[in-house]
Amino acid sequence: MYEVIIVGAGPAGISMAAEARTVGIASKQILVLEKGDTHSWAIRKFYPAGKRVLANYKGIEAVCAGVMCISDISKDETLTYIDRAIEQYQLPVHYNETVHSIRPLGKGFAVETSKGVYETRRCVIAIGILDKPNKPGYRIPVSLNKRIHYDLTSVALENEECLVVGGGDTSSEYCQYLVEHGNRVTLSYRRTEFSRLNRVNYESLMALEQRAQITILRGSNIKQVEADTAGLARVLFEEAQFPAQSFAHIVYALGGTTPTNFLKAIGIAFDGSVPVIKEGYQTSVPGLYLIGDLSAGKKGGSINLAFNMASDAMQNICTHTPDFCQS
């Protein structure tokens, strides 16, 4: 039986394993399960190349509580930092292994995966909300599949007419990235004011607009996307002031969805659509913890916040079960 099994090898999951090693848990008593073929899948997939990873994210101060901490660094530097943590703490990570269920046992949990069943005294869920990106409610023709994107790491767009849809930090970062690569960019946002952007992304987006490097359609709502006679994506808006327009590519930045069904199947209580989290990020199921994006709220959080969640969860474990911690 493992002392702790961690589901998810992103920043929260890796830092949780590092915290466990720091309090004296042997490497062989820890297991990190990751369904992808590498750690930090969301960072690799949704962060454009060269994107700065902000320590102070959306006004959250970069005060570090645990063994892992970053300053403002690049995407590649962040991934390298996590690489080194895995090596330094000798963290056992099983890649390409999907967790199907977590069942409470008498004194722990049975974790069933695509490769077997493991038993553990404690379990920490550290999966993100971006596993399944939100998609628009209207139908998009199959013929346009190659022109529709939900991230910018799988395709290289240069000197194209592009539409970005969304109003959060990711949409701003996509716009900045596309402009840097010579694209002509339009941003469609359903609201008239940007209330979700951090200061850096807001100022960058406003500067692009002032320099006429981007067109922002504030208060615009797309009602339909169809293929025009040239095979481009023709966008029709609900508002009369926005005429139909064709784009070579549409990039959606609509956020991700919480894997609610998975959490509820385990037995975690919900308050409406939000999982109930107690002190130290313990769920309503004793010994089962939820850290990372799923505990950060709708606005999300910084990577340092994920690191701090792991530290808080480990402190909670050590406080209630001192024999679990050796140092």
Same domain, 120 and 162: no
Q: What is the model's pLDDT at position 125?
A: 97
Contact 81, 38 (CB under 8 A): no
> Cα dist. 48→30, 228, 258, 301 in Å?
32, 29, 22, 18
Identify whether 41 is part of a domain.
yes
Question: Within this chain, do residues 82 and 177 fall inside the same structural domain, yes or no?
Answer: no
Residue 137 domain-assigned (yes or no): no
Give the pLDDT confidence score for residue 154 in this predicted structure.
Answer: 66
Q: In 3D, which of 59, 82, 43 has the Cα closest to residue 310?
A: 82
* Structural domain of 193: 142-252
Query: Which pLDDT belongs to residue 300?
Result: 59
- 292 and 216 co-located in one domain: no
Q: Give the C-alpha separation, 236 to 221, whole Å.
A: 9
Note whether 61 and 198 are same-domain residues: no
Same domain as 261, residue 246: no
Q: Are 276 and 111 in contact (CB under 8 A)?
A: no
Q: Is residue 164 part of a domain?
A: yes
Question: For the segment 196-255, what is each residue's pLDDT rounded down to a tens digit?
Answer: 888 888 999 999 999 999 999 999 999 999 999 999 999 999 999 999 999 999 999 987
* Residue that terminates a domain, selected from 252, 279, 298: 252
Residue 317: its H or E element: helix 303-320
Instruction: List the chain residues with pLDDT less than 70.
Output: 50-51, 54-62, 130-132, 153-154, 256-258, 297-301, 327
Per-residue pLDDT at 299 = 53
Split into its structural domains, the chain has a count of 2
Supply the pTM of this predicted model. Answer: 0.70
Same domain, 18 and 126: yes
In a shared domain, residues 305 and 201: no
Residue 21 within any structural domain of the chain:
yes
Statement to judge: residues 23 and 104 lie in one domain:
yes
Domain presence at residue 260: yes
**Which residue in the block uniquely carries the two structure tokens 């069943």?**
117
For residue 227, being part of any structural domain is answered with: yes
Same-domain pairing of 11 and 116: yes
Instruction: Indicate whether 167 belongs to any domain.
Output: yes
CATH code of residue 215: 3.50.50.60
Query: Is the CB of residue 122 less than 8 Å from the CB of residue 63?
Result: no
Domain end call among 232, 252, 272: 252
DSSP symbol at 322: G
Domain boundary among 224, 252, 280: 252
Task: State the Rg of the chain over Cα.
Answer: 22
Integer Cα distance of 54 and 71 in angstroms: 7
Q: Where are the alpha helices (DSSP H) in 24-151?
A: 41-46, 75-88
SS3 state of residue 136: coil
164-194 pLDDT, tens digit each:
999 988 899 899 999 999 999 999 999 999 9
- Given this model, what pLDDT does residue 185 score? 98
pLDDT, residue 16, reads: 98
Give me the pLDDT at residue 73, please.
85
My answer on whether 41 and 86 are in the same domain is yes
